[in-house]
Amino acid sequence: DSDPNPGPNPDPDPDSDPNPDPDAGPYHAQHFSITYRYHTVIVMEGRKLPDDAQPRYLEEEGLYVGERPPVTPSNENILENRVLKQEEGRRWFGDDGRILALPDPIKESSTRPPLFLLEEELDPALHTVYHKAVMSQHAVRGAGPQGEYQLDVDVSGLIFSHHPLFSREHVLTARLAQSYDLHLSRGRGNLSLHLTHKVRAPHPQGQTTSPTRPEPPTRSDHLTHKYRLEVRSTRLLRDGELEKDRALLRTMVTLWKEVKALRELQRYSNTPYKLCLRREEVERALDERQYEEEVLMEVMEQEAESEELYQKRLGAYREQLEEWKVWRRQQVGWGQVEPGGTRCLPALVFISPGDAGVCVTRRDRSDQVSTCPGEVALTPVCVCVRAELARREEVLRRHLLVKVLYNEKEVSQTDRRALGPDFRVHFGQIFNLRVRNAPQSIRLQVFEEVGSAPSLLAGVCVPVPEPSVLTGRTPTEELEFSSNQRVLFSHEGVGSDVPFSFQEDGGNRQTLLTSGKMACCVSWGRGEEDAPLAPPPTQPPPGALGCGDPFPGMGASGLGDLRRMGEWAAESRLDPNDPQNTAVMQLLKVACSGEVTAPEYFRLEQLQEEFNFATEEELERSRRFRLLRLRSQEVSEFRNYRCVPSLEREVTDKTFQEYERRLREGDMVDTREHLDSHRALVAKYLQKIRESVINRFLVAKHHYLLSDLVMEEQVPSIGILGLNLFKLAEPKRPLKPQRKERKKVTAQNLTDGDIRLLVNIIRAYDVPARRPFSRPGGPSFSESFAAPPPQNPAQGSDWLLSQVGWVRPFVEVSFQRTVLQTSPAEGPNPCWNQELELPFSAPNGDYSTTGLQAVKDVVFINLFDEVLQELGDDAEGGRSIHTRVERHWLGSVKIPFSTIYSQARIDGTFKVDTPAVLLGYSKERSHGDGGGYDTVRSLSEGTFLTVFITMEPQLVPGDTVREKFDSQEEERLLLASERFEKEAGLSFPDRPCLTSVIDISGKMVFITRFIRPLNPPPELLDAFPNSPQDATDLVARFVSLVPSLPDSTSFSGACDLWSTSDQFLTLLAGDEEEHAVLLCNYFLSMGKKAWLIIGTAIPEGPTAYVLTLEQSRFLIWNPSSGHHYGQHDTFCPLQAVGCLVSADNVWFNIQEHASPMRISLDVGKAHLWKPFFSRSFPHPGLASVQPPELLYRRSDRAAAAELQERMEKVLKEKLMEWRPRQPTRWNRYCTSTLRHFLPRLELSGGRDPDDQHRLELQALLGDYRISGFPLHLPFSELRPVVEAVFSTGVHSAEASNVEFALAVYVHPYPNNVLSVWVYLASLLRSR
Amino acid sequence: MASNNPSVFLLMINGQIEGGNFPEYDDLYCKYCFVYGHDWAPTSGLEEGISQITSKSRLSPHKLIWNFPLEITFKSTNPSGWPQIVVSVYGPDTFGNDVVRGYGATHIPFSPGQHTKTIPMFVPESTSRLQKFTSWLMGRRPEYTDPKVVAQGEGREVTRVCSQGFVTLTFHIVTKDMKKLGYDGTPSDPSNTLSPPTQSLYMRTRR
């Protein structure tokens, strides 16, 4: 017997509860007691029946028992077992021993009639009826604090002040009625009468003040004064009021006249209005008397006023008079009167009191203001009129009704009422609204019914009454309403929102809108025993939720009332800082201050001030914050400032001194340092450009590219892969090793000492050799200056023999004041192959890219000759030999650090900058020396040095600015230029290609615009009228004399700015491109065929040269040095030619090689040179940016002479400064000789002049050994000149009897271009 | 200098790089360095370090333990530029090339006491599929030019990264003179700092 649904207890085993909960202990116990394990065992008969009773079967006894409902025996057993457990369980059993049961209630057949929905209509009695759920009365009673309130809305009626059905007469009469209403209300207020009384009040001290004597102002005086002022203002007020009254009356009379006229015109009258003017009897005499009195009083008042003014002026006059008298006395005392210094006696100009004029004015005004005594009052009298048909019928058809909306829900509506002919509707209905929730709005809607459909005419918001407002005590309010519906009629009705006219001709048109007044009253009802059925006043009416919304708080009408709103705000404890309430608080604040003005500005962050820790001024004043701010702005002085002190007091003003000085000097020009005011101005100008460019950079620096952040291997091309494979077969140690690319290091985590400059000095060619002691056939055989005079034969001719024609050159590299040198090598073609390591430290420890780019230091590579001089020591008797090592400067190479940094490595042979004259040395080649090289070398002249310079570790050079500059070029041209450069870069990445450049104002300009023939200075052309070759050289020299200033150092970035030639000549400073452009333009104007070469050269890197075609021979000009080279010159510094630029096209080199020696320079061949403008894209006719003509200032000899003086003085001082230990003696004689010699050098263009000079010197200074040389440099500033002099090391001569000679010559060229010569010599008396 | 009027405050960091969780890689080592602002200067200790190579074991198949100690003291005048530690993890790829396995950075906690930090790590992604393939082939995965990039927010928008794993660090922080200079680094509610140790204590006693 396994029943799945056990009866009384479904829990078979309470002990095996899967979740025994110790906390639920007591419950568990209880659970125990009531659980019962069921049994399905059949219960014995005896247990069910009372003891020893036999079961009785009623059925057998003939009684009806009915049929028991069917129950399964097992269930029955369970129930029986269960019931027997209970006390008195037996009473559940019947006499027959079974459980008591009613007969089965289920009927055999259905008792309801069957439904036949398909065939016929449903019996109406069987319809389902829906009853809405209704809250029982008890539930309402127990609703708690919300309670039940009663709101009585009394809609008494409405009056239209304008209705579409108004006739013209109605309009006028409505206006008349309005005016009359106003008049009545004014009469009720009676303001003018009140004011009149006030004015007529007794004047307590009106006449007490004496007009004659000025008294010290007492308290009573003060009061009187105040009183008078008050009276005056009151009178003004009263006059205004009276005026208004009269104006009102006048309008009423005019209106009435109009009405009458209209009635005349239309011959009927629609309205019952009539204006009656009733004359009121008044005592004329009394009125007049009062009037007279008033006038009199006012006159007196005015008199007093002017008297007062008089006294005041009199006092002032007296004072002035006193003053004048004193002044006069003084004048007399001094006995003279200055002409024009007379002071006028102050004049008395004012009206004496009691003037008739005052009276007259007063009377005039009085007449104007007040009415004639004898007032007129009016009363309207209604008279019946006859009807006017068409309109009247329409009126009669109209019905109105009012709906009451409570909380925007319609609760009830009035009966329909007809619109009366007087446009008044009386409803007179009171609605008792039983409400349970607080009212938020009560609205009455006026509906108009024409025929059947009611249409909404207007709505009126009724203010929710305060709890104290109870029915019976409140007067009826009149609420205005209006509607902007447009209604047009064909009959007499004027309509609404439709212009109409009163006059026949249609002039003076007016437009009126339907409007009117609704008389209604809303109040709280009274319950039994007069208890108010209003919500308790303490309860915040809208409940806590609606606190922020003033609308339910005081109803709609309260919104306009600022006072009430203020009260409400105070009551509801509005949070003034809640942004939601800002508008309200603002309004209240303004309202309290008296006038309502909306703020005229809009603020985004209204609460900003509250979150400021300190005021702006405090922040401004704080030095520490200033320091922090300047640092974050990356101002150059503070860009890497470390450890800003934590306390204000630790920041001294000294920190800012330099910065402030720079700011101050921004506008001031210091001419002292520059020796030349023009250059100082230019320097300032450059500084400004630099700053603006730097600012652009600072912005651009924060734009990153992927390659700045992530290092990623490029996808190797087939070529590279092949090369890599090829590399595997390479010998491990090749005989001629190639330099490999090293891994680049970002310049971020570097410190001082990490970077070293590696200079590998390899070899030199054609070092000047010492001049032989005697030259056969030379004219100066006997006077050879370097030779020891015959008086000193002890020096020995063997020394000379060993030295002459020989040289022991060594190279000294100085960088950032670190000086290293190689060991000396022998001969004029020495080979050192030595590596020098120079430490590098960036300024301020700033190793960022911009910091490194701004390093202006220059690597000086100086070539010296080491001369051993043996000094016989007489004291020792010739037994010991002292050798003094002297070094003689032979030349130098200067390489700016910025070049090294941007190029990463510099590898090549440089022409050594040798002086034009090197005393004691000759540049003649020694014969028989390596004859094989002669053919190559003969093509050029000068000394050459092969070096390799790089940095360890290799630094990543700064990127070009990726900023897109704006341009005035056509978009098409820009796109083409971009494409051209991109294609060039793809096919020949090592060849520079430039098509558009940035001009000095930061705009992209197409490059050909810079090329235009420009006239060179006429002076230069006139110098050699017969020799065009010399003139060309002179022009090139002129261009090279303009000082060079690399853009990268000045603009701290690889940003090339191109300036036009006139800008260049004004600034007198520029990069190679400017030099090249200028030179090219000069050549073009001289009738040559010239191009601009964009290419790479050593040591400049990417640069610009000039190419000219002279007699079927190409010449390459270095614009910054003025030298020219043949196309096939081995020592031409130009290494690669990228493109050629002329005035109308750009050609890119697409030949196999880039070196000028191996390419064809004929741009006509399209398969060698790819043109930018071709037939498919012709030259659009770009105008040049260059001026049509250059204007030159003539050379200024006087200024040059002055500069020469100053420079000589400065250099002499410096030289003495550099020799702190030894005395510095000047050989005046030699100096003057040198000075005469320098101009000749300039004339010869820096080339070695004839030997004349040498001979002259030798003749003059026979007994001296001179070593010296002239330095030549373009003039920009004094500092480079000083540096150059220092780098020659002449000052380091240590012999005790050394003398110096120093001559300076400044040669002026047009436009303030100056050529500076410094002749420096040290003399040793040979005796 | 009198200790009453300090002009700098000190931040002492002790701790260790405990280990990492890199499910896919093995035989990893890590480097760390500190990045800090202009107003900070290390006074003692090592700013950079490189750990031993650790392999996974069968006992902890996901965990790599370095237990690499950190000890450094900074002095500063300004809490701006608070030091961050940058950890980068490297390991061999299938061909045995050392490639980067993750970069991560976190600020040094500023309240004194013991802190445990778990830094999620990421590596820059290759720019294209082809690049990815070649970098895999050549054993040159894309790397940051400087690991310190991950400590700054500037310029990140140009990169794409892929998350890699986690590195756990513990710090013991001691500060000196912070309060005297007006910087309060401790949390306002002291119970917050104490709650983790007390809870663990409670757990232990209960057991």
- What pLDDT does A334 receive? 54
- What pLDDT does A178 receive? 80
By the CB < 8 Å criterion, does A749 face chain B?
A: yes
- How confident is residue B71, by pLDDT bands cut at 50, 70 and 90? very high
By the CB < 8 Å criterion, does A644 face chain B?
A: yes
Minimal C-alpha gap between B88 and chain A (Å): 14
- Beta carbons of B145 and A646 less than 8 Å apart: no
Minimal C-alpha gap between A1050 and chain B (Å): 27
- Chain B residue numbers with beta carbons less than 8 Å from the beta carbon of A708 are 145, 155, 158
A906: its two tokens:
């510099």
CB atoms within 10 A of CB A429: 18
- How confident is residue A596, by pLDDT bands cut at 50, 70 and 90? very low
- Beta carbons of B124 and A631 less than 8 Å apart: no
For residue A556, pLDDT over 90 is answered with no
- How confident is residue B84, by pLDDT bands cut at 50, 70 and 90? very high
- The model's pLDDT over A1111-1165, given as tens digits with 9 standing for 90+, comes to 888 888 888 888 888 888 777 888 888 888 888 888 888 888 888 888 888 888 8
Bond preceding residue A1099 cis, omega within 30 of 0:
yes
- How confident is residue A799, by pLDDT bands cut at 50, 70 and 90? very low
Cβ–Cβ pairs < 8 A, chains A and B: 87
A710 to chain B: nearest residue by CA?
B144
- Chain B residue numbers with beta carbons less than 8 Å from the beta carbon of A715 are 130-131, 134
By the CB < 8 Å criterion, does A1183 face chain B?
A: no
One-letter identity of residue A816:
Q
For residue A1169, pLDDT over 60 is answered with yes
Tell me if residue A529 falls in helix, strand or coil: helix
- What pLDDT does A25 receive? 44
B111: its two tokens:
């309240």
By the CB < 8 Å criterion, does A725 face chain B?
A: no
Q: Which of A1120, A1077, A1079 shows the shortest CA–CA distance to A1097?
A: A1120
For residue A137, pLDDT over 70 is answered with no
For B124, the enclosing helix (H) or strand (E) is: strand B113-124
| Cα A69 to chain centroid, rounded | 93
- Mean pLDDT across B114-124: 94
B130 to chain A: nearest residue by CA?
A715
Q: Which of A353-367, A406-420, A1308-1322 has the lowest average pLDDT?
A: A353-367
Partner residue opposite B77 with nearest CB, options A643, A705, A712: A643
Q: How far is CA B17 from CA A888, B22, B64, B91, B110, in A?
A: 63, 14, 11, 16, 18
Q: Which of A690, A593, A529 shows the shortest CA–CA distance to A1053?
A: A690
Calpha distance A489→A498 (Å, rounded)? 10
Partner residue opposite B142 with nearest CB, options A628, A705, A711: A711
For residue A919, pLDDT over 80 is answered with no
For residue B173, pLDDT over 50 is answered with yes
- Beta carbons of B145 and A712 less than 8 Å apart: no
Q: Which of A231, A214, A234 shows the shortest CA–CA distance to A307?
A: A214
Q: Which of residues 199 through 228 in chain A touch B, CB cutoff 8 A?
A: none
A532: its two tokens:
């108010």
Q: Which of A1232, A1242, A1234 shows the shortest CA–CA distance to A1314?
A: A1242
Higher pLDDT, A385 or A1017: A1017
Q: What is the ipTM of this complex?
A: 0.78
Calpha distance A903→A1096 (Å, rounded)? 11
Q: Which ranges of A736-866 does DSSP label H, i.e. alpha helix? A: 797-803, 849-853
Chain B interface, best mutation among A644, A707, A712, by max B CB count within 10 A: A712
Higher pLDDT, A872 or A704: A704
Q: Which of residues 147 through 176 in chain B touch A, CB cutoff 8 A?
A: 148-149, 154-159
- The model's pLDDT over A946-1001, given as tens digits with 9 standing for 90+, comes to 888 888 777 766 555 555 566 777 888 888 888 888 888 888 887 888 888 877 77
Sheet with A858-872, side-by-side order of all strands:
A818-821, A809-815, A858-872, A881-896
- How confident is residue A574, by pLDDT bands cut at 50, 70 and 90? low
- How confident is residue A550, by pLDDT bands cut at 50, 70 and 90? very low
Minimal C-alpha gap between A749 and chain B (Å): 9
- Beta carbons of A646 and B144 less than 8 Å apart: no
By the CB < 8 Å criterion, does A646 face chain B?
A: yes
Partner residue opposite A704 with nearest CB, options B39, B78, B155: B155
- Beta carbons of B142 and A712 less than 8 Å apart: yes
Chain A interface, best mutation among B48, B128, B146, by max A CB count within 10 A: B146
Partner residue opposite B146 with nearest CB, options A650, A713, A746: A746
By the CB < 8 Å criterion, does B76 face chain A?
A: yes
- Mean pLDDT across A44-49: 76
Looking up tokens 């080339």, which residue turns up?
A: A1247
Pairing state of beta strands A1004-1006 and A1113-1117?
unpaired
Calpha distance A857→A1287 (Å, rounded)? 13
Bond preceding residue A953 cis, omega within 30 of 0:
yes
Calpha distance A211→A303 (Å, rounded)? 10
**pLDDT over 70 for what percent of chain A?**
68
- Chain B residue numbers with beta carbons less than 8 Å from the beta carbon of A720 are none
Write a three-state SS string for A416-468: CEECCCCCEEEEEEEEEEEECCCCCCEEEEEEEEECCEEEEEEEEEECCCCCC
- Beta carbons of B9 and A702 less than 8 Å apart: no
- Beta carbons of A712 and B155 less than 8 Å apart: no
Which class for A351: exposed (0-12), middle (13-18), buried (19 or more C-beta within 10 A)?
A: exposed
Calpha distance A230→A238 (Å, rounded)? 12
Count of alpha carbons within 13 angstroms of residue A1238, beta-carbon side: 27
For residue A943, pLDDT over 50 is answered with yes
- Beta carbons of B39 and A644 less than 8 Å apart: yes
Calpha distance A413→A407 (Å, rounded)? 15
Calpha distance A856→A1049 (Å, rounded)? 6
For A1206, the enclosing helix (H) or strand (E) is: helix A1197-1218
Q: Which of A249-263, A531-545, A782-796, A798-812 has the lowest average pLDDT?
A: A782-796
- What pLDDT does B107 receive? 94
For residue A439, pLDDT over 70 is answered with yes
- Beta carbons of A644 and B154 less than 8 Å apart: no
Note the pTM of the prediction, 2 decimals: 0.50
- How confident is residue B116, by pLDDT bands cut at 50, 70 and 90? very high
Partner residue opposite B7 with nearest CB, options A650, A710, A715: A650
Q: What is the DSSP string of A1277-1317?
A: -HHHHHHHHHHHTGGG---TTEEEEEEEEEEEEGGGEEEEE
Contacts with A340 (C-beta within 8 Å, 6 or more apart), sequence order: none
For A1264, the enclosing helix (H) or strand (E) is: strand A1264-1274
- How confident is residue B154, by pLDDT bands cut at 50, 70 and 90? confident
Partner residue opposite B140 with nearest CB, options A643, A705, A713: A713
- What pLDDT does A580 receive? 57
A644 to chain B: nearest residue by CA?
B39
How far does chain B reach from its first CA to its final CA, in angstroms?
51
Higher pLDDT, A921 or A925: A921
Contacts with A856 (C-beta within 8 Å, 6 or more apart), sequence order: A896, A897, A898, A1049
Radius of gyration of chain A (CA): 59
- Chain A residue numbers with beta carbons less than 8 Å from the beta carbon of B38 are 631, 640-644
Calpha distance A1112→A1160 (Å, rounded)? 12
CB A956 within 8 A of CB A849: yes
Minimal C-alpha gap between A747 and chain B (Å): 10
For residue A678, pLDDT over 70 is answered with no
B128 to chain A: nearest residue by CA?
A715
Pairing state of beta strands A1298-1309 and A1225-1226?
parallel
A648 to chain B: nearest residue by CA?
B7
- How confident is residue B169, by pLDDT bands cut at 50, 70 and 90? very high
Question: What is the sign of the dihedral through the CA atoms of A1001, A1002, A1005 and A1009?
Answer: positive
- Chain A residue numbers with beta carbons less than 8 Å from the beta carbon of B135 are 712-713
Partner residue opposite A644 with nearest CB, options B77, B156, B158: B77
For residue A146, pLDDT over 80 is answered with no
Contacts with A685 (C-beta within 8 Å, 6 or more apart), sequence order: A1067
Sheet with B84-92, side-by-side order of all strands:
B40-45, B63-76, B9-21, B161-176, B113-124, B98-107, B84-92, B29-35, B48-50
CB A950 within 8 A of CB A758: yes
- Beta carbons of A712 and B76 less than 8 Å apart: no
Calpha distance A1103→A1149 (Å, rounded)? 15
A716 to chain B: nearest residue by CA?
B134
- Mean pLDDT across A930-936: 43
For residue A85, pLDDT over 70 is answered with yes
- Chain B residue numbers with beta carbons less than 8 Å from the beta carbon of A704 are 154-155, 157-158
By the CB < 8 Å criterion, does B26 face chain A?
A: no
Pairing state of beta strands A818-821 and A498-500?
unpaired
- Beta carbons of A645 and B77 less than 8 Å apart: yes
Q: How many residues does chain A have?
A: 1327
Count of alpha carbons within 13 angstroms of residue A1069, beta-carbon side: 21
For residue A254, pLDDT over 60 is answered with yes
- Mean pLDDT across A915-925: 69
- What pLDDT does A1055 receive? 57
By the CB < 8 Å criterion, does B47 face chain A?
A: no
- Mean pLDDT across A31-37: 59
Q: How many residues does chain B have?
A: 207
Minimal C-alpha gap between B126 and chain A (Å): 7
Write a three-state SS string for A869-899: EEEECCCCCCCCEEEEEEEEEEEEEEEEHHH
- What pLDDT does A336 receive? 45
For residue A1180, pLDDT over 90 is answered with no
A746 to chain B: nearest residue by CA?
B145
- Chain B residue numbers with beta carbons less than 8 Å from the beta carbon of A631 are 38
Q: Which of A427-436, A741-750, A1234-1243, B92-101 has the lowest average pLDDT?
A: A741-750
By the CB < 8 Å criterion, does A24 face chain B?
A: no
Calpha distance A1060→A1077 (Å, rounded)? 8
- What pLDDT does A264 receive? 77
- What pLDDT does B16 receive? 94
Average pLDDT, chain A: 72
Minimal C-alpha gap between B64 and chain A (Å): 27
CB A1095 within 8 A of CB A1137: yes
Chain A interface, best mutation among B36, B74, B78, by max A CB count within 10 A: B78
Q: Which of A17-26, A150-159, A966-975, B126-135 has the highest mean pLDDT?
A: B126-135
- The model's pLDDT over A1004-1052, given as tens digits with 9 standing for 90+, comes to 788 888 888 888 888 887 777 777 788 888 888 888 888 776 555 444 4
Minimal C-alpha gap between B194 and chain A (Å): 31
* B100 bridge partner residues: B90
Q: What is the DSSP string of A658-726?
A: HHHHHHHTTT----TTTSSHHHHHHHHHHHHHHHHHHHHHHHHHT---HHHHEE-PPPPPHHHHHHHHH
- Mean pLDDT across A625-647: 79
One-letter identity of residue A172:
L
- The model's pLDDT over A1098-1124, given as tens digits with 9 standing for 90+, comes to 777 778 899 988 888 888 888 888 888
Count of alpha carbons within 13 angstroms of residue A346, beta-carbon side: 15
**Helices A219-266 and A284-334, interaxial angle, to 10°?**
130
For A1039, the enclosing helix (H) or strand (E) is: helix A1028-1041
- The model's pLDDT over A1082-1103, given as tens digits with 9 standing for 90+, comes to 988 888 888 999 888 877 777 8
Q: Which of A1141, A1000, A1147, A1173 shows the shortest CA–CA distance to A1077?
A: A1141
Q: How far is CA A15 from CA A11, A19, A29, A32, in A?
A: 10, 10, 11, 9
CB A807 within 8 A of CB A794: no
